[in-house]
Structures are given as C-alpha cells and as structure tokens.
Structure 1
Amino acid sequence: MFAVPEIKVAEQAGVGLDGRPRPTEDHVVVLDNAVVLLDGATSPSPDLPPGGWYAGLLAEELGRVLRERPADDLRLLLSDAIAAVAGMHGLHPGASPSSTVALLRWDDERVDGLVLADSPIVAFGQTMDRLADDRLALLRVAGRLGTAAEVRALRNRPEGFWVAEADPAAASHALTRSWPRSSLDAVLLATDGVSVGIDDYQLFGWPEALRLAREQGPSAVCDAVRRAEYGDPLGERWPRAKRHDDQALVLVDFATDVSAHLPAASA
C-alpha cells in the first residue's frame, strides 16, 4: 500500500480589472485521492455572472463526480460536470462565464492529470514533466487576444483556445497525462497567477518552486510572485491586464507519508 500524500494549499486573492480588491475567482477542492483546481475567468461583461461563481459550481460538481466515479476517464468526468452545471443554471455556449481546469487523481498504481486552459500541472520524479495547455499563451504572443471581442471569437474554437464554459465538447480538447505513481515524488498544480512568475517573469524555475513549497509552504511561492508585481506596479516590465491576479497553488507530496501521523484505527 502506498503512502497517503501530504497536500498543502495556498490561495490569495488578486484585484479586478479596475484595480480594486475583490474575492478570489480561483477554487480548490481536495479529495482523498484527487485535487481539483479551477481559475474562473474575469467576465468581460457585467451582464454575465462572475467567472468565480461558475468556477465554484464546476469545482463542486467535479468533486462530486470524482467521488462517485473514481475510475472514469477524466475527460468524460469533465464533460459531464460541464453539462450538469450548464443544465442546472441555464448556461449557453458563447454567452456564459468560463474557467480553466486542472485535475489530479491517483490510486496505488497511477497518477492521472488533466488541464484545460492555462492552469498547469508540473510533476516531479527522476525528471520534471510539465503538463500545460499553452494555446492561450501562443495566441497572446501572436497579438490575437487584444480585445474582449477577439477573446469571444476564439474561445472554444479549433483555431483558438479551449476552456470550460457551457459546451461539454470542450472537455475533449483537454490535455491529459498519466504517470506510474512509483515514478513521482511530488506534483504542483497552479493557476496562472502563480505560474506567470515562473513561466513569464522567470523569477525561478519549477524545481525551485517545488523546493520553496516544500520548505516554506506553497504560500512562499505565491508571495514571491506578488512581491515581484509590487515592484512593477504599472506593468512596464511585465505587461498584464491586472496588477495582481488571483493565486492558487497546490502541492501534492507523494514522498511524505501522512498516514504515518494518523491515529491507528480502534479494534
């Protein structure tokens, strides 16, 4: 029997497009054998519900289906969760809030990961393996996401990017990977408010992020990114839509046996 991994979570709210503080739109659900991490997209129109509202509903539904169907394909579970939330709340493709998705699930033999949009999963063992959906980043670099209209035109389109919204078919475009559990020491799941500090700002690499998360907690990684942004308040060094994005970082440490510290079951 494998050890029970230690799971640590750090979350920190950012600001809205207007620069004012508001509740985080990131959501994390931790189960016995899985982690769900979602980043609700800031709604471009006041007529739409907030992305955080949608992400919270989808995270809750994903938690439910992961508990009830622990062996099902992750893409299928995501598709069913998107359909359930859309059906319950009357959401329609192209006119609904959206969210990124990162899922990690494990059993005694295998660890499965899924990402949709820009919330990466980084696995560490003898080598590092970054599972990331870079379609949004490539469109930004190409200058194709400069306006809300351009984002809407490219959302959930073959020539654009894919994200959880109201169309269950988006789940089929998620990226997935599986690893033998014995090959992994730890896994990080991050929203882009954290990953930007590593992939874009290049403050440090993912191995250093893992070291910080293990030694000082995931909040140390979030704080390092936030400090860098405080030093660039106008976005001159690192152009960005918001001074500070919401942050969520999860460390799943397979090398630490939490079960060794659990009380023994009574006879």
Structure 2
Amino acid sequence: MPEIHVAERAGVGPDGKPRPSEDHVVVLENAALVLDGATSSRLDLPSGGWYAGHLAERLAASLHESPGADLAAVLAGAIAEVAVKHDLKPGAAPSSTVAMLRWTADRVDGLVLADSPIVAFGQSGPSVLADDRLATLRRKGRLSSEARVRALRNTEDGFWVAEADPTAARHAVRRSWPRHEVDTVLLATDGVAVAVDDYRILDWSQLLEIGRTQGLSAVLDTVRAAEAGDPGCLRWPRAKPHDDQALIMVDFR
C-alpha cells in the first residue's frame, strides 16, 4: 500500500462569495480519484458538485466490486447508472471532470477525462497524463460563454466530460506505467494545475518538491498567494478569483 496524502480547499463562486467545494476526492485500497464538478449558472439543474459527488460514490463502489475492471468501462457504467438513477439527460445535466488512478503489484493505470491531470514521477522525470481539449478550445476563444461551452460539450469537435452520456468514457485519455518505474503520482483538479499550466509559477517537479518537503497544503497556499496578487483577474483571466482545489499524492517509495 503506498503512502497517500490529500489536500483540499474550497474556492469561491463566480460572485466571489465562499461556497462549498465542488471537487471530490476518493481514496481506496488500490485506487485514488479526483473529480471536479463544473460550476454552472443554470438554476434548473443540480450543481456540478452534486453530480461529482454522486459519480464519485458510484465509481468507488464499482472499483471496490471489480478492482481489475477496465477503467473506461467502469467510468461508462458509473455515468450510465447515475444518469438513470437521477433521470439526467445528455445535454441537459451537470458535469464533472474525472481523474482515476489504480495500481497493482506490476502496473499503475491512469485515466483522465477533461482538465484534471495525473502526473507520474520516476527516474526520467514527470510523465503528464492530461486531456488538453478544453485548454485548446480556450486558447482558440471558442469557450467565450456558457452557451458555447454547452454546445461543444461531448462533441467530436469539442471536448469530453462526464455528464449523462456514457460514451464520453471512450474518449478519456489513458496511460499505464510499470509499477517499478513510478515513485510518486499526483492527481489534481485544475484549481491546482493552473500553477503549472496557466500561471507558470511552478513546473510539475517543483510542485512535487513543495508537496514532499512542506506538505500538500503548501502547494495550495502557493496558488492562492499568486491569485491574491491578481485580485482583478487581469494577469490571469479567470471566471473566479479562486477555484476549488484538490490534490492527491500517491507515494510508492
């Protein structure tokens, strides 16, 4: 059993006011998950955090019941079960990112759907498992409104995310590593990954070093300190001053 550390912190809503985190973390005997429910202004739908919580519960149960099952099949089944149980319809349902890590004596498997990356570290440095479709669309200016996000969600020329359509699981990004080549793995929601991907105040190796030497909360502090220095969201344009943060470190050393 590896040593596992977790840090979480709620952000604020688009109005800048505190509210419960929409990130969810699951740690099992041979797996770890992070999910980031998408914030939405639609009052006629449950929140992304509500959906992420229900999906996390179903994923955890499935991985416990079938610890060796194909990860994409596990995700597809969980999406379908939550949709049926709560009468969710594709295109009119809350959504969530998913990052799943599972390990055996020989192998470490990762699956990422939308922008919650997994980073495995070994002697050759960081190996990043990331789904960059959302980031690519943002760079191209194609996600300028919530309506445009909905129009591109779970489409071939858009991006894929857990929602009410189980076929999204087939579009997840996956990778496996030999267990003996992996020292440590990080799973992060984008409220943490922005330090590397957008703010560029850290690289993944520096982020890991802070986590190992100062604790994962110090990583979250580093991101929040940078954002506090940009209260108007001018240097780093973003929908809210502080996003929810969730970070898991799975240490195989």
* 1:242 is the counterpart of 2:240: yes
- Paired residue type of 1:252: V
- Runs of 4+ with deviation above 2 angstroms: none
Distance 2:217 2:188 in 1: 12
Distance 1:196 1:180 in 2: 28
Contact 1:119 1:189 in 2 (8 A): yes
Alignment correspondent of 2:227: 229
Choose which of 51, 54, 57 in structure 2 pairs with 1:54. Answer: 51
- Paired residue type of 2:122: G
Note the 1:107-256 alignment, pairs <5 A.
107-127=104-124, 128-255=126-253
Q: SS where residue 183 of structure 2 aligns?
A: strand
Note the 1:6-25 alignment, pairs <5 A.
6-25=3-22
Cα deviation, 1:168-193, whole Å, max 9, x if unaligned, reads 00000000000000000000000000
Deviation at 1:202, TM superposition (A): 0.8
Segments of structure 1 that go 5 or more residues without pairing to the other structure are: 256-267
Distance 2:233 2:159 in 1: 25
Q: SS where residue 210 of structure 1 aligns?
A: helix
Deviation at 1:126, TM superposition (A): 1.6
Contact 1:189 1:251 in 2 (8 A): yes
Deviation at 1:36, TM superposition (A): 1.1
Choose which of 62, 84, 88 in structure 1 pairs with 2:85. Answer: 88
State percent identity of aligned pairs: 66
- Paired residue type of 1:196: V
Contact 1:12 1:24 in 2 (8 A): yes
Distance 2:150 2:164 in 1: 13
- Paired residue type of 1:194: V
Alignment correspondent of 1:42: 39
Q: SS where residue 251 of structure 1 aligns?
A: strand
Deviation at 1:44, TM superposition (A): 3.0
Distance 2:30 2:176 in 1: 15
Distance 1:46 1:18 in 2: 15
Alignment correspondent of 1:99: 96
Distance 2:29 2:219 in 1: 24
TM-score normalised by length of structure 1: 0.94
Q: SS where residue 83 of structure 1 aligns?
A: helix
Deviation at 1:214, TM superposition (A): 1.0
Distance 2:155 2:68 in 1: 29
Larger Rg: 1
- Paired residue type of 2:175: R
Distance 1:71 1:20 in 2: 42
Segments of structure 2 that go 5 or more residues without pairing to the other structure are: none
Deviation at 1:119, TM superposition (A): 0.1
Deviation at 1:197, TM superposition (A): 1.0
Q: Number of residue pairs matched?
A: 252
